[in-house]
Structure 1
Amino acid sequence: MQRFVAVPREGGGPPGLLARALQAAEETLGRFVVWPHEHAATVVCLWIAHTYVAKAVNASPRLLINSALPGSGKTVVLKLVTAMSKDGRMVAGTSPSALFRGLDAKADDPATLGIDEVDNLFKGDTSALVSLINAGWERDGIHQVSEVSSDGNWESREFRVFAPLALSGIDNGTIAGPLMSRSIAVTMMPISPEDADRIVPYRDRADKARIEEVRDHFRAWRAAMDEDWGHGYRSELLDLIDRYPKDLNLPGGHHGRSTQRWEVLIALADYVGGEWPSRVREAFEFYTEMENDFRVEDPGIELLRAIFHVFKFYGRDKVATKEIITAIRSYETIEFPGLDVTPWRDWDLTERRMSYILRPYGIRPKQMRVPYGGSSRNLRGYEYQDFLPVWGNFVPDLMSETATSAIGATA
């Protein structure tokens, strides 16, 4: 995005317009949605706002609307968020080829995509589509493909795939860690009869005017921003975006993706002022504490942790898939130390599901000879060395010198 020389200006202007847009969005969403906690509305409203200035941000966190059970209102939230966002449209049954061409065409001022049933993307060989979703969260996200040129030769072509994405799906252990690490998840809960009486059922046609009114508020803010930029005014929002993350006022010294997901939301909150700066930081603390204490929001990371302890228990560099599943699902925690808190014990882990979950990390099972049942057998399994770089990136706290050398010494 073009940068301008800072020019002083008087008056409130765009921040006031954004404040009204956020208020309208929160009130309208509250008419149709029962939030699982007070911070969900903060996250969702600020996320909608960021879609209108996506061309100015460094990264666009994926908004993941998930739940463990159907009938929790995920699709309704996704429809509302997509409809309120900039140039939002729902995408169903798309192919990677169609998606990355569409994103590249709007890369200079990205549109917003809503993808329902995202959990199905991890149940088959859709690695290209999953890679596309993951790569496009940062401004320089590129998807490279090989195509046949007009003269019949193969040539490499790059597509810009940066865009805000809102996704929804059932999270029963199939949503992969790379997506989760780029997402802020709003986990919906089943609606009680009392809550059902409090909200209004959402209908696309009947409520179209109400949603359009909210969108008009955001469009008015974006138009005011465009006018300022056209006259050479440098928005305070751009200063905040450029200054973060090094000047983020967040507790705990967080860094990496854990903070990068929140940068634009915090910048918007500080830009609009009022109660939003404190609200977004309270939401950040809530999510951070939940992730640190439970970590169950990311089943893929939990699986990586569990497999680390399986390798450590067996003390060899090759372990059969059957051995991994037996260890993880066993309730004999004394026999398998380190697995006493894994949520996978209560989740349905099969060989196929484990393969799907590990695939986005670049880890695949292999045929190998391993000691099994008192003899050496040719089975499908996993190699320790394939997990090393993934553990280092996603669960670095496990990768102490003592832990890694212990396995290598007995491999």
Structure 2
Amino acid sequence: MDKVISLSHQAQTTKQSDDVIIKELAALKPLEYDRVRAEKAKEMKVQLKTLDAQVTAYRESKQEAKRLPFDEIEPCQEPISPANLLDEISTAIQQFIVLDDEQAHAAALWVAHSWFIDVLEISPLAIINAPEKVCGKTQLLKVLGRMAYRPLPAANASPSALFRAVDLWKPTILIDEADTFFKDNAELHGMVNAGHSRDGFVLRSEAIGDSYEPKAFPVFSAKAIAGIALEKHLPDATMSRGIVFNLRRKLPHESVGRLRHADKGLFSGIAAKLARFADDYSQQVREARPVLPDELSDRNQDNWDGLLAVASCAGDEWLKKATAAALKISGDCEKSHSISNELLADIQDIFEAKRVSFIGTIDRAYPVVTDSHYR
């Protein structure tokens, strides 16, 4: 076993060394590269044509990156501690947003899960909900976006542009003001709901010559949605696919930092560590089978599975934090649904007892039933 670990570490070190050399060679001018390519190929123990292909591919990827609507993040050089990194993300979020610890832990795990999108089967929506204005919903969306994998704001984007972007880039889509333009956009609902699982796709017609052919566009990616009173504006099918962050206005004794005054390099430094986290732990996350709380519904267990898999890389303490967050955030949702179902069942009993299909507001033969009876 020790020999296998040693060989694995050696291979990883060699890959990192090769990547550094290729990056340096790609930055050279053509004449400079020609002078050193033979020596470098010999040093790396590869054929000249192999080295040329790698350097060309790197240069082309950098040119493509210049055309991307987000920055491509280089992984940090030093190995990271997953537990320390998740602590750092939680602290950064609470520096700018009023959130309790469980919500901050969930937000940190959601950000981290976006970097493991290639190895997860489910990507829960981050549903950032506020009862009114000035609760920090847009601020939280921005904070998450500054650390998430390939953040792509969806303001003014058409559904067709978004599902093509997902097909091409696998970005983290950030949707603000979901209580306005999003709520009446059935096509966008369909894309967001289908993108909850890896096998999700939308079927569209594509022009091929003089005819049209159906094409399935994969829409699986990380997505965050922010808005006011989203439980009133989004269908249950969308709400059930998310982890809901219920925000509030800060109290007089509470204070948060201004995002525009954030330390230079704070978020880019975290993103570089997240890129390294994904490089080093993707296989562990892929193979993780975390124990999911029985108190959660099947859908919420799906939503939290990937986040707990990420937490498992950070040790037992973070697994406890993740489980506590899941129970507090999504367990409460289960209780709320149960109360609503009880209320509806009692209303149905009243209608059946009276043998009517309508009860007027002036008919007080039975007491008015409200959800306060179940609080």
TM-score, normalised to structure 1, is 0.64
Q: How many residues align?
A: 299
CA contact (8 A) 1:15 1:271 kept: no
For the residues of structure 1 that align with 2:331 and 2:310, how far apart are their CA atoms? Answer: 22
Of 197, 221, 243, 1:184 maps to: 243
Identity level (%): 25
Query: By how many angstroms is 1:102 displaced?
Result: 0.7
* 3-state SS, counterpart of residue 162 of structure 1: coil
> Could you list the runs of 5+ residues in structure 1 that have no partner in the other structure?
1-6, 227-234, 344-411
* 3-state SS, counterpart of residue 220 of structure 1: helix
2:201 pairs with 1:142: yes
Query: By how many angstroms is 1:40 displaced?
Result: 0.3
Q: 1:165 maps to what in 2? A: 223
2:258 pairs with 1:201: yes
Q: 1:354 maps to what in 2? A: none
Of 110, 122, 137, 1:74 maps to: 137
Q: 1:155 maps to what in 2? A: 213
Q: 1:389 maps to what in 2? A: none
CA contact (8 A) 2:178 2:226 kept: yes
Of 181, 188, 210, 1:129 maps to: 188
Q: 2:24 maps to what in 1? A: none
Pair 331,66 (structure 1): closer, same or farther in 2 beyond 3 Å: farther
2:189 pairs with 1:87: no
Residues 357-402 of structure 1 show CA distances to partners (whole Å, capped at 9, x for unaligned) of xxxxxxxxxxxxxxxxxxxxxxxxxxxxxxxxxxxxxxxxxxxxxx
Residues 216-252 of structure 1 show CA distances to partners (whole Å, capped at 9, x for unaligned) of 21122223347xxxxxxxx332221xx35xxx25244
> Could you list the runs of 5+ residues in structure 2 that have no partner in the other structure?
13-77
Query: By how many angstroms is 1:123 displaced?
Result: 4.1
For the residues of structure 1 that align with 2:219 and 2:336, how far apart are their CA atoms? Answer: 32
For the residues of structure 1 that align with 2:372 and 2:203, how far apart are their CA atoms? Answer: 37
Q: 2:315 maps to what in 1? A: 273
Query: By how many angstroms is 1:143 displaced?
Result: 0.4
Residues 268-287 of structure 1 show CA distances to partners (whole Å, capped at 9, x for unaligned) of 11221052011111112213
2:276 pairs with 1:220: yes
Which deviates further from its counterpart, 23-32 or 186-195? 23-32
Pair 52,334 (structure 1): closer, same or farther in 2 beyond 3 Å: farther
Q: 1:18 maps to what in 2? A: 82
- What code does the residue aligned with 1:238 have? R
2:116 pairs with 1:116: no
For the residues of structure 1 that align with 2:183 and 2:196, how far apart are their CA atoms? Answer: 22
Query: By how many angstroms is 1:150 displaced?
Result: 2.4
TM-score, normalised to structure 2, is 0.70
For the residues of structure 2 that align with 1:39 and 1:114, how far apart are their CA atoms? Answer: 22
Pair 167,93 (structure 1): closer, same or farther in 2 beyond 3 Å: same
* 3-state SS, counterpart of residue 272 of structure 1: coil
- What code does the residue aligned with 1:275 have? E
Pair 311,100 (structure 1): closer, same or farther in 2 beyond 3 Å: farther
Pair 336,136 (structure 1): closer, same or farther in 2 beyond 3 Å: farther
* 3-state SS, counterpart of residue 194 of structure 1: coil
Query: By how many angstroms is 1:97 displaced?
Result: 0.8
Of 237, 246, 271, 2:285 maps to: 237
Q: Which is greater in Rg?
A: 2
Query: By how many angstroms is 1:265 displaced?
Result: 0.9
Say which structure is richer in helix: 2
